[in-house]
Amino acid sequence: MNSIPNAAFQVPENSPSERLEIQDDRWRQSHLGRLLGHAMRRFDERVLHLMAVNEGVPLALANLASRDQISAAHVHITRHLGLNGSRLTDLARAAGMSKQAMGDLVDQCTAWGLVQRGPDPLDARARLVVFTPVGLAWLQAFKDAVAQAEAEFRDAVGKDVATVVALGLEAYAH
């Protein structure tokens, strides 16, 4: 067995950890950003689960959601697509994604029958992404799932805490 001299693993004097005086690094697992990220993933997973069992969601989409084929990334379209349609660039900007990544999501959602691309009545050169009737049923299921997930959050942490969290996040986000 090859051994590496212990000197290779010694922390040099004036190392970054010494300069920062980090003795306890538990903060890296429990800081606000990490907690917000975990909470968002948990919330999105719950919403997708609720959508998968919603009777208003077409069976093919419910099956995709229940098999984790529809992800929180696909929910970006549900969250950000205007009721009268949106240009791909506007949709990508609203979701904080590249135009190419949003284009890939739109292509998938088009294949699933959630959205379609059509002409922009205000600009003949542009195309709009719009919900299909199936997509509007998906949007209603999303609305119902979000309402239920929010109610579950309120039940879990209490009405007062949920109100303070919502107000704090709204203030922080804006």
Going residue by residue through the chain (174 aa), what tens digit of pLDDT does each one get?
555 555 556 655 666 555 566 677 788 888 889 999 999 989 988 998 898 888 887 777 777 777 777 777 778 788 899 999 999 999 999 999 999 999 999 999 999 899 999 999 988 888 999 999 999 998 999 999 999 999 999 999 999 999 999 999 999 988
Q: In the structure encoding, which two tokens stand for residue 167, read together? A: 């107000």
CB neighbours of residue 129 within 10 Å = 26
Instruction: Quote the CA–CA distance of 20 and 27 in Å, as a whole number.
Output: 14
Residue-range domains of the chain with CATH: 28-173 (1.10.10.10)
Asked if 86 and 129 count as a contact pair (C-beta separation under 8 A), the reply is yes
